Amino acid sequence: MLRYLNHCSRGRGAWLLLALTALALELVALFFQHVMGLKPCVMCIYERCALFGVMGAGLVGAIAPKTPLRWVAIVIWLYSAIEGLRLSYEHTMIQLHPNPFVTCDFAARFPDWLPLDKWLPSVFVASGDCAERGWTFLTWSMPQWMIVIFAAYLLVGALVLIAQPFRARRRELFSR
């Protein structure tokens, strides 16, 4: 399996699939926001940024998968998955154990050199309450599902990282 993951990480298809899954999740989030009318909170916006990081990792890996740029993509992938998992867990704890002393910010704080909330307000402006459970599926809220999603991204990313030293065996067509 590790040889197979190494082989996949050296092709564009797997990296584009990674980017496509993150894009699909971003589109679902925008559907929930703009069509279903669910207001994203600050934690949702930060989790959305982590998903954009996973998508960016997929695009970076797809640029030149057989070069050392693949390692940069793996690092971005793992960092984004870890941060997304951490944020989703923190968001879940806010929802499951509401406390007036533990709340999220009123607005997302982006660096001055990257004001995403000013550049794309329809995507990055928070207007909801972090403690509100506005949507559930099979009794789990959105941040709980994001824990599962980011854990899956992290697991696959870690396996791809571990698989890097394992080269695929060369197969001869007419071997003895």
Q: Are 110 and 125 in contact (CB under 8 A)?
A: no
- Over the stretch 13-53, which tens digit does the pLDDT of each residue have? 888 999 999 999 999 999 988 898 888 888 888 999 999 99
Q: pLDDT band for 2, please (50, 70, 90 cuts).
A: confident
SS3 (DSSP) at 102: strand
Residue 102 neighbours by CB under 8 Å, 6+ apart: 94
Residue 18 neighbours by CB under 8 Å, 6+ apart: 54, 55, 57, 58, 61, 77
Q: Is the pLDDT of residue 87 over 90?
A: yes
- Over the stretch 133-153, which tens digit does the pLDDT of each residue have? 777 788 888 888 999 999 999
Predicted pLDDT of residue 104: 75
Reported pTM = 0.82
Distance CA 52, CA 106 (A): 21
Instruction: Break the chain into its structural domains and give their ranges.
Output: 1-34
Question: How large is the average pLDDT for residues 57-83?
Answer: 90
Q: Which sequence positions are flagged as catalytic?
A: 41, 44, 48, 104, 130
CB contact burial 124-133 (16+ within 10 A = b; e otherwise)? bbbebbbbee
Predicted pLDDT of residue 23: 95
Predicted pLDDT of residue 7: 67
Closest CA to 73 of 54, 60, 55: 60
